[in-house]
Amino acid sequence: MGGSGVRPRGKGIEIDFRYRGMRCRELIKLPPTKANLKYAANLRAALLTEIARGTFQYQEHFPDSSRCALFGGVRHTRQTVAQALDSWLTGAKATVEDSTWNEYRKVINRHLTPGLGHIPIRDLTTATVKAWVATLPQSGKTINNILTPLRQTTADAFGDSMLERDPMIRVPSMKFRTREPDPFTPDEIRRILTRLSGQALAFYQFAIWTGLRPSEQIALRWEDVDLELGVVRVRRARVRRQEKDTKTIAGERTVRLLAPALEALTAQKEITYLSGKEVFLNPRTGRPWVSEKALREVDWKHALRAAKVAYRTPYQCRHTYASMMLAAGENPMWVARQMGHGTVQVMYKNYARWMPEAAPDAGRKADQMVTRWSQE
């Protein structure tokens, strides 16, 4: 019953036809009664006519079909933005670092789901997102971080043919001013270090003279140290109690130790070498540091206050190292490798004003060269 290309299948009716050289079978959710089978046969005849005329649109007849994506149409979806974000977050778990995944989860739960989660993702528009963004009190950089999971989610939905267009493409990133490095001066370094002792002194003396990221330094192990060669191998970092690979591929590196850094390690070896894996331990607990944020509360703030030095985070020790090396005339590429930057461009972008070439007499060598040429 139902004729060629139409047949009962379970509690529905299957329509069988060919489109663009492919055999297609689609299920209509109607009971396979005599009347419904006749309706299905008429529907099949109508879509065959549309195929012959070149006017057939797969998604108009079968919006829930997975073949919509195959034939360039948009699949029907009842997902809300919240559901799409949850699905994306589940998939991201296997592809990003735990700390990054947790940041995504937080901004989804705190901002995106309360603000936009109720909207069907098919109805999400650029104008809606822009209007919502305009209500956010956060800084431009923070807003960009908030929008990252949403950008990824709508891009995936568009790629899966659930959206006709990606509404986030026309939502621009917010402009923000990057904070410039604020390194310590030689006088400030001396004043800070004189206010520290024991493990705290060794830690910050090492930080200032190696440029390691705080997260890398608290994860440094004695197995990574070679005092005879005067190097340490940076292989990992610790963020929010989680050990992970270095921030970038270039971040895994061998750092040459200058004399003050070697002095700090030699002193630290007497305290922690036999205690465990980590080179630097929290002097208050005798246990490994759990995160770089904890550094600020133990000794650091007190030392800066006692030294009467304007407060900066421990991360500025890294900037201090870079500025000192460049001011001393070291090759920017060598400094970049020491710090774990992938390219020298980062050095020029962040530290150009500490390079000798940026001094007021820059160009003097070029003038001398031109003079020599003119005299020849």
Q: Give residue-wise pLDDT tens across range 271-289.
A: 999 887 999 998 888 889 8
Per-residue model confidence (pLDDT) at position 183 = 93
Give CA–CA dist 268/32, Å, rounded: 82
- Only one residue has tokens 């940026």, namely 358
**HSE of 309 in the Cβ direction (CA atoms, 13 Å)?**
26
Quick check: 282 and 294 in contact, CB under 8 A? yes
What the block records as the tokens of 299 is 């000794």
Per-residue model confidence (pLDDT) at position 126 = 94
Most confidently modeled range among 59-73, 131-145, 241-255: 131-145
Most confidently modeled range among 41-55, 303-317, 325-339: 303-317
Nearest to 103 by CA among 135, 146, 154, 68: 146
Quick check: 183 and 319 in contact, CB under 8 A? yes
Is the model's pLDDT at 7 over the cut of 70?
A: yes
- Look at 332 and 368; give whichever has higher pLDDT: 332
Nearest to 264 by CA among 215, 290, 225, 237: 225
Nearest to 168 by CA among 180, 179, 159, 177: 159
Is the model's pLDDT at 367 over the cut of 80?
A: no
What the block records as the tokens of 242 is 């989680």
Is the model's pLDDT at 59 over the cut of 80?
A: no
- Look at 291 and 5; give whichever has higher pLDDT: 5
Q: Residue 173 corresponds to which amino acid?
A: S
Per-residue model confidence (pLDDT) at position 79 = 85
Is the model's pLDDT at 82 over the cut of 90?
A: yes
Per-residue model confidence (pLDDT) at position 144 = 93
Q: How far is CA 271 from CA 7, 265, 266, 268, 279, in A?
A: 82, 10, 9, 5, 9
Quick check: 158 and 165 in contact, CB under 8 A? yes
Is the model's pLDDT at 261 over the cut of 60?
A: yes
Reported as a single tens digit per residue, the pLDDT across 248-260 is 565 689 999 999 9
- List, in sequence order, every residue forming a beta bridge with 28; answer none if it has no partner: 13
- List, in sequence order, every residue forming a beta bridge with 272; answer none if it has no partner: none
Average pLDDT of the chain? 86
Mean pLDDT of the 326-331 span: 87
Give CA–CA dist 183/181, Å, rounded: 6
